[in-house]
């Protein structure tokens, strides 16, 4: 495949020397961009956009046309796996994702297939190939999946939930059923991410959006255990390069040392975790990604620049930092403010790498 012209992001994930701190944004192809909204309207709805190779490629590239980002991220959704398992994913305006079927018994788990990316999620792998071709080596492409626990919360609840009560009750009262579900999901995520890597993804991120809703012991039993299983099963090198793995548990700052022991190359931080303390805690074991509060992008460009400067200073000199938001960019953000954020990282980070 085409040689990378800018591999700063990949080198930072591997804690190798870089000239500046690379930056990308979670949900960088999204509703805050007018061009994205136009393409989504053309597709008809969100799922149709995800499943249209040409349009998924188009929206992946849109933020790179606006901003000097150091990575592209596949345009898709974390719930593609349960949809491919036959649960019937759909979206209702203002209510988020929902499933027509739920998983609440061992019989339900036994009926689920283990997902094969190329077979069951061909449209995702096709999108990866199309995006890699369109990027032409400009920046690396990130593939991703939801974590088994996060996927399970939606599958058991039938959609989003504020307290994940049904899912937690199943885990606590019928752990055998929950472990059977999580193992099947871990197998599926591993195969899915490996197929993304083979199709051209140059780094992968596991989004553990709801791991932070668990208690200390439950997090290790029902979330971290299965993310480690995935990391152990991933392709480590492809196309002549190492393929870094990022783990991101929202509200998971208390478990950084445990996460660093999974074998992942980098940990995502949300805005509730101090980046300086995180760096002291993990040492040289992993890189760190994050961690500006997405709401900061609603402030003035001057204030955004000040916050970027503060976070860079908190991390300090040296390698192993990828700048990002602590969660996804939100729809009401002014694209000019996103640009101010990205430009500030690029301009202010160079002194930390001399």
60-72 in b/e form (b: 16+ CB < 10 A) is bbbbbeebebbbb
Q: Are strands 241-242 and 237-238 parallel, antiparallel or unpaired?
A: antiparallel
The CA distances from residue 118 to 22, 39, 141, 199, 207, in Å, are 31, 25, 18, 9, 21
Annotated catalytic residue 31? yes
Q: Using CA atoms in the order 204, 205, 206, 207, what is the torsion angle rounded to 10 degrees? A: -150
Does the annotation flag 327 for ligand binding?
yes
Q: Are strands 96-99 and 89-92 parallel, antiparallel or unpaired?
A: antiparallel
Annotated catalytic residue 100? no
Distance, in Å, from the CA atom of 12 to the CA atom of 17, rounded to the nearest integer, reads 7
Does the annotation flag 53 for ligand binding?
no
Q: Comparing C-alpha atoms, which of 142, 151, 129 is closest to residue 83?
A: 151
Does the annotation flag 220 for ligand binding?
no
Does the annotation flag 31 for ligand binding?
yes
Q: Using CA atoms in the order 292, 293, 295, 300, what is the torsion angle rounded to 10 degrees? A: -40
Distance, in Å, from the CA atom of 79 to the CA atom of 154, rounded to the nearest integer, reads 8
Residue of 37, 66, 77, 108 with catalytic role: 77
Residue of 15, 20, 32, 40 with catalytic role: 40
Annotated catalytic residue 241? no
Does the annotation flag 27 for ligand binding?
yes
Find all residues with CB under 8 Å of 93, minimum gap 6, and list them.
none
Annotated catalytic residue 77? yes
Which backbone phi and psi does 91 adopt, to 5 degrees?
-120, 135
Distance of CA 301 to the CA centre of its chain: 26
Residue of 36, 67, 154, 226 with catalytic role: 154
Does the annotation flag 298 for ligand binding?
no
Annotated catalytic residue 129? no
From the number of C-beta atoms within 10 Å of its C-beta (0-12, 13-18, 19+), residue 77 rates as middle
Does the annotation flag 66 for ligand binding?
no
Find all residues with CB under 8 Å of 294, minimum gap 6, and list them.
271, 325, 326, 327, 328, 329, 330, 333
Find all residues with CB under 8 Å of 38, minimum gap 6, and list them.
none
Residues annotated catalytic, as ranges: 27, 31, 40, 77, 154
Residue numbers in the known binding site are 27-31, 77, 154, 209, 327
Residue numbers in the known binding site for substrate are 27-31, 77, 154, 209, 327
């Amino acid at each position: 495949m085409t040689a990378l012209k800018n591999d700063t992001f990949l080198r930072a994930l591997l804690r190798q020397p870089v000239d500046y701190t690379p930056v990308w944004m979670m949900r960088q192809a999204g509703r805050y961009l007018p061009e994205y909204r136009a393409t989504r309207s053309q597709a008809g709805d969100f799922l149709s956009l995800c499943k249209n190779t040409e349009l998924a490629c188009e929206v992946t590239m849109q933020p790179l046309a606006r901003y000097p980002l150091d990575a592209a991220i596949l345009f898709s959704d974390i719930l593609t796996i349960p949809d491919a398992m036959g649960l019937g994913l759909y979206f209702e305006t203002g209510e988020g994702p929902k499933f027509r079927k739920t998983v609440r018994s061992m019989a339900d788990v036994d009926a689920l297939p283990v997902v094969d990316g190329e077979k069951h999620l061909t449209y995702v792998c096709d999108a990866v190939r199309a995006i890699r071709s369109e990027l032409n080596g400009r920046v690396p492409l990130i593939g991703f999946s939801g974590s088994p626990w996060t996927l399970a919360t939606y599958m058991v609840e039938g959609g989003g939930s504020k307290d994940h009560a049904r899912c937690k009750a199943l885990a606590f009262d019928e752990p055998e059923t929950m472990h059977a579900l999580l193992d099947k999901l871990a197998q599926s995520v591993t195969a899915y991410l490996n197929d993304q890597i083979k199709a051209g993804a140059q780094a992968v991120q596991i989004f553990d959006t709801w791991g932070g809703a668990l208690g200390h012991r439950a997090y290790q039993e029902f979330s971290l255990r299965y993310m480690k299983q995935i990391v152990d099963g991933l392709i480590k090198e492809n196309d002549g390069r190492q393929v870094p793995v990022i783990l991101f548990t929202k509200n998971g700052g208390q478990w950084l040392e445990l996460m660093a022991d999974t074998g992942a190359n980098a940990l995502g931080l949300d805005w509730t975790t101090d980046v300086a303390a995180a760096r002291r805690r993990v040492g040289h074991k992993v890189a760190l990604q994050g961690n500006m509060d997405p709401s900061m992008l609603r402030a003035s460009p001057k204030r955004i620049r000040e916050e970027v400067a503060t976070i860079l200073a908190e991390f300090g000199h040296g390698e192993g930092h990828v700048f990002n938001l602590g969660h996804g960019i939100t729809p009401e953000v002014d694209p000019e403010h996103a640009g101010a954020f990205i430009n500030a990282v690029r301009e202010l980070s160079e002194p930390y790498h001399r």
